[in-house]
Amino acid sequence: MDNVKRFNTMTNIGHAKYVVNYHDGIKKHTDGSDFFDIDIFKNKKKFNEFVQSLINDGYIEAKMDIYL
């Protein structure tokens, strides 16, 4: 999935209510794996606004590929 803007969401991770992981299709770790940015929200309205802004910027919702 090179050069694909994608994100995934998680809820109730420890003390974090809403978590969004997103990859811009460019950033990489030194080993070549994709680098995901993270944002944490405790307010559902702000969470939904952020997810909508990602969708408007061309991101697609995808499951985390941690097992690949």
What are the pLDDT digits (tens) for 8-57? Answer: 999 999 999 999 999 998 999 999 888 999 999 999 999 999 999 999 99
Number of domains present in the structure of the chain? 1
Question: 35: domain range?
Answer: 6-61
Q: Is position 66 within any domain?
A: no
Please tell me the pTM assigned to this model: 0.83
**9, 20 in Cβ contact below 8 A?**
yes
Total Cβ atoms within 10 A of residue 10: 13
pLDDT value at residue 68: 46
Q: Which residue has the tokens 């993270």?
A: 38
Q: Is position 68 within any domain?
A: no
pLDDT value at residue 67: 46
Q: Is position 18 within any domain?
A: yes
Task: Give the Å distances, CA to CA, from 45 to 2, 41, 50, 64.
Answer: 31, 9, 9, 23
